[in-house]
Amino acid sequence: MKYISKATFFHRLDPRTKILMSLICACLVVILDTPLSLFSLSIVLFAVFLSIKPPLSYIRIIIYLMGTTMIAAVISQGFFYYFEPRTPIFTVVPSNTRFFGNLTGGIYFYKEGVIYGAIQSMRIFSATLLSMVIVVSTYPSDLILGLKKLGIPEKLGFIITVSIRFLPTLGEEAKRILIAQKLRGLRLKGICGALNGFRFLLQPLIIDSLRKAKRIALAAEVRGFTGKRVEIRSLRFLWADRVVLFIAFLTMLFVIRKMFCP
């Protein structure tokens, strides 16, 4: 998923608000432990996701992800749920079957496992949804600026900025090298082909990266990177940001109070 420029409420929010909201939501995902509360959180986040007006293909991806995660978690936990008490819904291999029964002690599908699987899948789903809201509604450089304002070290911010700037360039370069190697007869099918391709890709790509690193470092030095820096774009923390953060924080406090001081 990529950033999509739209004029929605979440697009207008400050990146810092979105990052802090993601932190609060992540805490909620961990704290909440009943199917109903997690289902409510998922529904709220899905509504937030729809409010940023994503394309139909993104909604399809979300529904596909949600479905597969839910089915996989419910089935796997249903069969492999370990904690007691557990109530079998149906039996796949009875414990008195000659070989497999003795070996496995019987294979059952447990009711508690199904509930646990549903809870876990809704946790994953909620975390994924808010992450996608952030990715779709925030431009990557604004996100980095927000992280810097929140106290991420300057050097780490610089590393991420340079990485994002040169990711498409390096990606294009890697594709070009692979095409050139294919034209020279390299076969990329299967694991052996992939390893071969990687071997022939690595050398030119790293040498080119080192050349680029030298040029970038020189350019940054010339522009006074190591001196005092100013930024062209500045972030503004508006009233909407304060209100959203206040509501999110209150919700978290309410949930914590409800969970730990009933």
Residue 33 C-beta: closest distance to other proteins, Å:
8
Give the x-and-dash track for 159-178 against other proteins (CB under 8 A).
xxxxxx-xx--xx--xx--x
Task: Measure the CA angle with vertex 36, ends 30 and 39; round to 5°.
Answer: 70
Q: What is the dihedral of CA 160, 144, 217, 232, to 10 degrees?
A: 170
Residues 117-146 interacting with other proteins (rule: CB under 8 A): 127-128, 130-135, 140, 143-144
When the beta carbons of 93 and 142 are compared against other proteins, the nearer one is 142
Q: CB neighbours (10 Å) of residue 196? A: 15
Helix/strand number for the chain, H first, E second: 10, 2
Site string for other proteins, 27-56 (x = CB under 8 A): x--xx-------------------------
Give the helix/strand (H/E) hosting 163.
Answer: helix 154-183
Torsion, CA 187, CA 188, CA 192, CA 194, rounded to 10: 150
Give which of 241, 250, 261 is closest to 28, Cα–Cα: 250
112 near 81, Cβ under 8 Å? yes
How many residues belong to the site for other proteins (CB under 8 A)? Answer: 61
Nearer to other proteins (CB atom), residue 23 or residue 107: 23
Q: Which is nearer to other proteins, 29 or 108 (CB)?
A: 29
| Smaller CB separation from other proteins, 115 or 162 | 162
Burial class (CB in 10 A: 0-12, 13-18, 19+), 185: exposed
Span of 34-42, 100-108, 109-117, 202-210 interacting with other proteins by CB under 8 A: 202-210
Place of tokens 């839910």: 70
User: Rounded to whole angstroms, how far apart are CA atoms 25 and 32?
Assistant: 10
Q: Which of 50, 156, 238, 243 binds other proteins (CB under 8 A)?
A: 156
CB of 54 to other proteins, least distance (A): 13
Q: Kindly tell me which of 108 and 127 has the beta carbon lying closer to other proteins.
A: 127
The residues binding other proteins (CB under 8 A) are 1, 18-19, 22-23, 26-27, 30-31, 127-128, 130-135, 140, 143-144, 147, 155-156, 158-164, 166-167, 170-171, 174-175, 178, 188-191, 193-195, 197-198, 201-202, 205-206, 209-210, 212-214, 216-217, 220-221, 225-226
